[in-house]
Chains A and B, each alone.
Chain A
Amino acid sequence: MSDPQGLTRRRALRTGAATFAGMIIVARSAHAQSPSPAHAELLQRLAAGRTPQQGRVRVRMPEIAENGSTVPITVTVESPMTAENHVKTLLVVSDGNPRPEVFSATLTPAAGKAEISTRIRVARTMNVIAYADMSDGTLWAGQTVATVTIGGCGS
Chain B
Amino acid sequence: MSTVRVRLPSPIKRNEAFEVRTLITHEMESGQRRDAQGAVIPRKILNRFVATFNGQPVLAMDLAPAISANPYISFYMVAADSGALALAWTDDDGTVIRETVRVTVT
Q: A residues engaging B (CB < 8 A)?
A: 69-71, 81, 94, 97-99, 101-108, 110-121, 152-155
Q: Which residue of B lies closest to A155 (CB)?
A: B69
Residue from the set B63, B67, B68, B72 with the largest chain A CB neighbour count within 10 Å? B68
How far apart are the CA atoms of A43 and B68 in the complex, in Å? 22
Chain B residues whose CB sits within 8 angstroms of the CB of A69 once the complex forms: 68-69
Q: Note all chain A residues with C-beta closer than 8 A to B78.
A: 81, 110-113
27 contacts between A and B (CB under 8 A): A70-B68, A99-B64, A101-B62, A103-B61, A103-B67, A105-B60, A106-B59, A106-B61, A107-B59, A108-B56, A108-B57, A110-B53, A111-B17, A111-B59, A111-B76, A112-B76, A113-B76, A115-B76, A117-B73, A117-B74, A118-B68, A118-B72, A118-B74, A119-B72, A120-B67, A120-B68, A121-B30
B57: min CB distance to chain A, Å: 5
List residues of chain A with CB within 8 A of the CB of B58.
Answer: 107-108, 110-111
Asked if A99 contacts B66 (CB within 8 A), the reply is yes
User: With contacts A98-B32, A101-B64, A155-B69 known, what are 5 further pairs, Cβ within 8 A?
Assistant: A99-B66, A104-B62, A105-B60, A106-B59, A110-B57
| B61 proximity list for chain A (CB < 8 A) | 103-106, 116
Q: How far is the CA of A111 from the CA of B79 in the complex (A)?
A: 9
Total CB contacts across the A-B interface at under 8 A: 100
* Chain B, Cβ-Cβ closest to A108: B57
A70 to chain B, nearest CB (A): 4
CB of A69, distance to nearest CB on chain B (Å): 6
Assess whether B66 is in contact with A101, with CB atoms less than 8 Å apart: yes
Q: Which residues of B contact A71 (CB under 8 A)?
A: 68
A112 near B77: Cβ-Cβ < 8 Å: yes
For the complex, give the distance between the alpha carbons of A120 and B60 in Å: 18
Query: Bound complex: CA of A118 vs CA of B64, how far in Å?
Result: 12
- Which residues of chain A are within 8 angstroms of B77 by Cβ–Cβ distance? 110-112
CA distance A110 to B71 in the complex (A): 23
Q: Which residues of A contact B67 (CB under 8 A)?
A: 102-103, 118-121
Those 8 A-B pairs whose CB atoms lie nearest each other, nearest first: A112-B78, A112-B17, A113-B76, A70-B68, A113-B17, A101-B64, A119-B68, A117-B74
